Amino acid sequence: MITFERRVEPNLGWTVAAFALAVLACLLATALLLATTGADIGQAFSALWKGAAGSRRALTSTLVNATPLILTGLATVVAFRAQIWSIGQEGQVFAGAMGGYLGATLLMGLPPVLFFPAVLAFGVAAGALLGGLCGWLRTRFGVNEIISTVMTNYLIAYLMSWMLSGGPWTEVGTVAYHQSPELPADAVLPMLAGIPRLHVGVVLPFVAALFCSVLLARMPLGYEIRGLGYNPEALRHKGVDIARTVVVVMMISGGLAALAGAIELFGVSHRLRADNFAGLGYSGIIVGMIGGLSPLGTVVAGLFFGGLASGAVSMRVLSDTPAALVPAIQGLTLFFFLCAGVLARYRIVRKAP
Amino acid sequence: MTSVLRVEALTKRFAGVTANDGVDFDLSSGEIHCLFGENGAGKSTLSSCIFGFYRPDGGRIFVHGREVDFSSPSDAIAAGIGMVHQHFVLVPEFTVLENIIVGTQKSGWRLNAREARRKIEAICSEYGIEVNLDAYVWELAVGRQQWVEILKALYLDARILILDEPTAVLTPAESQTLFRIIKAMCAKGLSIILITHKLVEVMQSDRVTVLRKGKVVDTLRTASTSADELARLMVGRAVSFTVSKPALAPGAKVLEVEGLSAIGHWGEHVLKNITFAVARHEIFGIAGVADNGQKELFEVLCGVREPSAGSVRLEAEDVTGFPARALMDRGVGHIPDDRFREGLVRQFSIADNLVLGWQRDGKYTSGPLMNRAAIGALSKTMIAEYQIAARDGAVPAGNLSGGNAQKVIIAREFLHASGLLLANQPTRGLDVGVIEYVQTRLLEKRAEGFAIVLASEELSDLFNLADRIAVMFKGEIVGIVDPRAASVEEIGMMMAGNRQAAA
* Strands B269-279 and B191-196, bridge-based pairing: unpaired
- Mean pLDDT of the A88-104 span: 97
Q: Is A10 inside a domain boundary?
A: no
The percentage of residues in chain B with a pLDDT greater than 90, rounded to a whole number, is: 47
Q: Is the dihedral of CA B77, B83, B84, B86 positive or negative?
A: negative
CA distance B192 to B202: 12
Residues of A in contact with B323 (CB under 8 A): 239, 241
Considering the domain architecture, whether residues B156 and B80 belong to the same structural domain is answered as yes
Query: Does B346 contact A7 at a Cβ distance shorter than 8 Å?
Result: no
B163 falls within a domain: yes
Tens-place pLDDT, residues B278-319: 999 999 999 988 788 999 999 999 999 999 999 999 999 999
Cβ-count burial A316-332 (b if 16+ within 10 Å, e if not): beebebeeebbeebbeb
Q: Which residue in A8, A224, A236 is closest to B15 by CB distance? A: A8
User: Phi, psi (5° rounding) for residue B450?
Assistant: -75, 150
Q: Is residue B408 part of a domain?
A: yes
Q: What is the DSSP string of A49-96?
A: HHHHHSSHHHHHHHHHHHHHHHHHHHHHHHHHHTT----THHHHHHHH
**B174 pLDDT higher than 50:** yes
Cβ of A231 under 8 Å from any chain B Cβ?
A: yes
Q: Would B338 be classed as within a structural domain? A: no
Question: Chain A residue with minimal CA distance to B356?
Answer: A238
Q: How confident is the model at residue B400 (pLDDT cuts 50, 70, 90)?
A: confident
Q: What is the pLDDT of residue B503?
A: 43
Q: Which of B360, B395, B416 finishes a domain?
A: B416
Instruction: Give yes or no: residues B410 and B425 share one domain.
Output: no
Closest Cβ opposite residue A237 in set B302, B359, B365: B302
pLDDT of residue A347: 78
pLDDT band of residue B106 (cuts 50, 70, 90) is: low
Q: Is A87 on the interface with B (CB under 8 A)?
A: no
Quickly list H helices, A231-294. Answer: 232-237, 242-264, 274-277, 280-290
- Distance in angstroms (rounded) separating the CA atoms of residues B241 and B259: 36
What is each CA distance from B153 to B166, B168, B377, in whole angstroms?
Answer: 14, 19, 53
Q: What residues have CB less than 8 Å from B62, skipping those under 6 apart?
A: B3, B5, B6, B7, B8, B68
H helix runs in B113-171, sequence order: 113-127, 142-155
* Sequence-distant contacts of A118-122: CB under 8 A, at least 24 apart: A119/A187, A119/A262, A119/A266, A120/A259, A120/A262, A120/A263, A120/A266, A122/A262
pLDDT tens per residue, range A200-210? 999 999 999 99
Residues B289 and B316 in one domain: yes
Does residue B83 lie in a domain region? Answer: yes
Q: Are residues B229 and B248 in the same domain?
A: no
Q: Domain limits at A239? A: 40-320
Q: Does the beta-carbon distance from B328 to A238 stay under 8 Å?
A: yes
Highest mean pLDDT among A1-15, A224-238, B193-207, B416-430: A224-238
Q: Are B205 and B35 spatial neighbours (Cβ–Cβ below 8 Å)? A: no
Provide, as residue numbers in chain B, all residues whose Cβ is less than 8 Å from the Cβ of A7.
15
Is there a domain that residue A20 lies in?
A: no
As a whole number, mean pLDDT of residues B399-413 equals 90
Whether B220 and B324 share a structural domain: no
State whether A237 and B336 contact (CB < 8 Å): yes
- The residue from B235, B262, B278 where one domain ends is B235
- A251 pLDDT exceeds 50? yes
| Residue A19 within a domain | no
pLDDT tier, B502 (very low <50, low <70, confident <90, very high otherwise): very low
Domain span including residue B389: 346-416
Judge whether A176 lies within some domain: yes
Provide the residue type at B458 as one letter. Answer: E
- One domain, residues B117 and B55: yes
> Which of B22-31, B370-379, B432-441, B466-475 shows the lowest per-residue confidence on average (mean pLDDT)?
B432-441
When pLDDT is averaged across residues B16-27 and rounded to a whole number, the result is 86
Please report residues of A whose CB lies closer than 8 A to that of B347.
226, 230-231
Residues of B in contact with A237 (CB under 8 A): 302, 304, 324, 334, 336, 342-343, 357
Q: Are residues B21 and B93 in the same domain?
A: yes
At residue A176, the pLDDT reads 62
pLDDT value for A263: 97
Q: Which residues of B touch A (CB under 8 A)?
A: 15-16, 302-304, 323-325, 327-328, 334, 336, 341-348, 352, 356-357, 359-360, 365, 368-370, 372, 399
Chain B residues near residue A235 by CB distance under 8 angstroms: 345, 356
Residue B487 falls in which region: left (phi positive, over 0), alpha (psi -120 to 50) or beta? beta
For the stretch A162-175, pLDDT in tens is 999 888 898 887 65
pLDDT confidence bin for B1, thresholds 50/70/90: low
> Is residue A28 assigned to a domain?
no
Q: Of B347, B356, B369, which has the smallest distance from its Cβ to A238's Cβ?
A: B356
Distance CA B41, CA B46 (A): 10
Q: Is residue B386 part of a domain?
A: yes
Mean pLDDT of chain B: 88
Distance from A39 to chain B by nearest Cα, in Å?
Answer: 48
Q: Are residues B389 and B457 in the same domain?
A: no
Q: Distance (Å, rounded) from C-alpha B256 to C-alpha B319? A: 10
Q: Are both B32 and B153 inside the same structural domain?
A: yes
Query: Could you give the C-alpha distances from B328 to B361, B399, B418, B436, in angstroms and in order?
Result: 12, 27, 9, 27
| Residues B65 and B149 placed together within one structural domain of the fold | yes
Q: What does the DSSP 8-state code read for residue A309?
A: H
Question: Rounded to the nearest 5°, which phi and psi values hold at B265?
Answer: -60, -35
- Across A75-79, B28-32, B134-138, B195-199, least confident range: B195-199
> Could you read off the pLDDT of A293-311 as tens digits, one per residue?
999 999 999 999 999 888 8
Q: Please determine, for residue B107, whether its predicted confidence score (pLDDT) is greater than 70.
A: no
* Mean pLDDT of the region B470-490: 90
Mean pLDDT of B264-271: 86
Q: Which residue, B163, B161, B186, B2, is CA-closest to B81? A: B161
- Whether residue B51 contacts residue B57, with contact meaning beta carbons closer than 8 Å, is answered with no
DSSP-H helix ranges across chain A: 12-37, 41-53, 56-81, 89-107, 112-141, 145-164, 204-218, 220-230, 232-237, 242-264, 274-277, 280-290, 295-319, 325-343
Is the residue at A29 inside a domain?
Answer: no
Question: pLDDT grade, residue A285 (50/70/90)?
Answer: very high
Cβ contact, residue pair A227, B323, below 8 Å: no
Please say if the pLDDT value at position B78 is more than 60: yes
pLDDT-based confidence at residue A319 (cuts at 50, 70, 90): confident
Asked if residue A351 belongs to a domain, the reply is no
- Whether B341 is in a domain gets the answer no
- The DSSP code for B139 is G
Percentage of residues in chain B having pLDDT higher than 70: 95
Nearest C-alpha in A relative to B332: A238
Say if A11 falls within a structural domain: no
Q: Which of A118, A92, A87 is nearest to A105 (CA)?
A: A118
- Number of domains making up chain A: 1
Q: Is the pLDDT of residue B480 over 90?
A: yes
Domain edge (last residue) among B398, B416, B434: B416
B99 pLDDT tier (thresholds 50, 70, 90): confident
At residue A206, the pLDDT reads: 98
Specify the CATH number for the domain of residue B253: 3.40.50.300
The band of A353, judged by pLDDT with boundaries at 50, 70 and 90, is very low
A42 pLDDT more than 60: yes
Residue A179 reports pLDDT greater than 70: yes
* Distance in Å, alpha carbon of B156 to nearest chain A alpha carbon: 28
Whether B63 shows a pLDDT value over 80: the answer reads yes
Measured between CA atoms, how close is A210 to chain B, in angstroms?
A: 14
Residue B433 lies in a domain: yes
- With beta carbons under 8 A apart, name residues in chain A contacting B304: 236-237
Contacts (Cβ under 8 Å, ≥6 apart) of B88: B145, B146, B148, B149
Question: Looking at chain B, which residue has its C-alpha nearest residue A347?
Answer: B15
How many domains does chain B fold into? 3
pLDDT band at A345 (very low <50, low <70, confident <90, very high): confident
Instruction: Tell whether B398 and B268 lie within a shared domain.
Output: no
**Which uninterrupted H or E stretch holds B192?**
strand B191-196
Do B372 and B437 belong to one domain?
no
How far is the C-alpha of A148 from the C-alpha of A132, rounded, in Å? 11
CATH code of the domain containing A149? 1.10.3470
Q: Give me the pLDDT at residue A352, please.
A: 54
pLDDT at residue B398 is higher than 60: yes
CB contact under 8 A, B15 and A5: yes
CA distance from start to end of chain B? 52
Distance between CA atoms of residues A197 and A65, nearest Å:
11
CA distances from A340 to A11, A284, A285, B259 (A): 13, 19, 17, 57
Which of A8, A239, A347 has its CB closest to that of B324?
Answer: A239
Of the listed ranges A53-62, A189-198, B169-178, the least confidently predicted one is B169-178
d(Cα B234, Cα B244) in Å, to the nearest integer?
A: 22
- The answer to whether residue B340 sits within a structural domain is no
Distance from the A242 Cα atom to the nearest Cα atom in chain B, whole angstroms: 11
